[in-house]
Structure 1
């Protein structure tokens, strides 16, 4: 998985979501779990919320970007899917829907159009079970937080 990634470079793990919309907050729950279990100091853990345009400045100097989010993929809720660098989450003929004002792919495109080098982007995503008011994840996604955190911790360790 990591042979395409730049090693010994600056890495950011970016959790995307809305913490008050149930499963929509999955990415933020994963970031908070990573902070609890601890990550190497050279790994930046960022709670991105839903306003990705605000993240443009945060991409400065980032070589490896791991995005944690939910997407309406043809998966059971809570099953993790990893999209490696060079293989963004798109499938011809299928709608891949994110729930934010601007998607991460659009953010990266804007970043490169501004003359910046594109980071190597890995997506770690799952399908939501419910999106409704509340700060709790659904039963399908609660155990997925720990699985995603373990996966991301190993992925980041492989960068170095």
Structure 2
């Protein structure tokens, strides 16, 4: 008896899993955009097999949250020389792409991702979606430009999850 499988070797019909991981400090203004995105996504209808996690500022918690998933989306504030509120997306699984450094308090996420496959089942496809911050001072609320960008960020995350679930 033969069974069909997809490109990942998964039996036909087996659910694909996706992890959305918000990183950053929710008490440091716009650095908490990942937290706010996860909160907004919790009220949405997402594809089956999608997990949502607040990883805070711990790189290895972010790796653990995505371990075993087929794909992952990391959501964070991005230190780019662009206007606050600008949304950008990068593929972290492509070394030739010059993605911004995701710095976390314990370890650089990019470095953790590079060595994480020793201890974690890191997804083959990892995307970084984020917003350029305006304020990184102690605050529970997002700045006006980042708050205004949040609905579009959440929409893009939903779009990526839907695309990835069909891929």
Q: Shared fold (TM-score greater than 0.5)?
A: yes
Q: Does 1:27 align with 2:34?
A: yes
Gaps of 5+ in 1: 1-5
Q: Does 1:146 align with 2:151?
A: yes
Q: TM-score under structure 1 normalisation?
A: 0.82
Q: Does 1:100 align with 2:104?
A: yes
For residues 32-51 of structure 1, what are the structure 2 equivalents within 5 Å?
A: 32-51=39-58
SS at 2:145's partner residue? coil
1:52-95 Cα shifts (integer Å, max 9, x gaps): 2233433331121101101211211111011134267636xxxx
CA distance in 2, matches of 1:59, 1:128: 24
Specify whether residues 79 and 38 from structure 1 end up closer, same or farther in structure 2 by C-alpha distance, changes over 3 A only.
same
Aligned length: 151
Contact 2:63 2:122 in 1 (8 A): no
Contact 1:75 1:126 in 2 (8 A): no
SS at 1:28's partner residue? helix
CA distance in 2, matches of 1:87, 1:75: 22
> Which of 126, 138, 141 in structure 2 is aligned with 1:136?
141
For residues 39-78 of structure 1, what are the structure 2 equivalents within 5 Å?
A: 39-78=46-85
CA distance in 2, matches of 1:146, 1:47: 18
Q: Which has the larger radius of gyration?
A: 2
Q: Which moved further from structure 2: 147-156 or 51-60?
A: 51-60
CA distance in 2, matches of 1:106, 1:73: 19
Contact 1:77 1:127 in 2 (8 A): yes
How many Å apart are 1:121 and its aligned residue? Answer: 0.7
Gaps of 5+ in 2: 1-7, 9-14
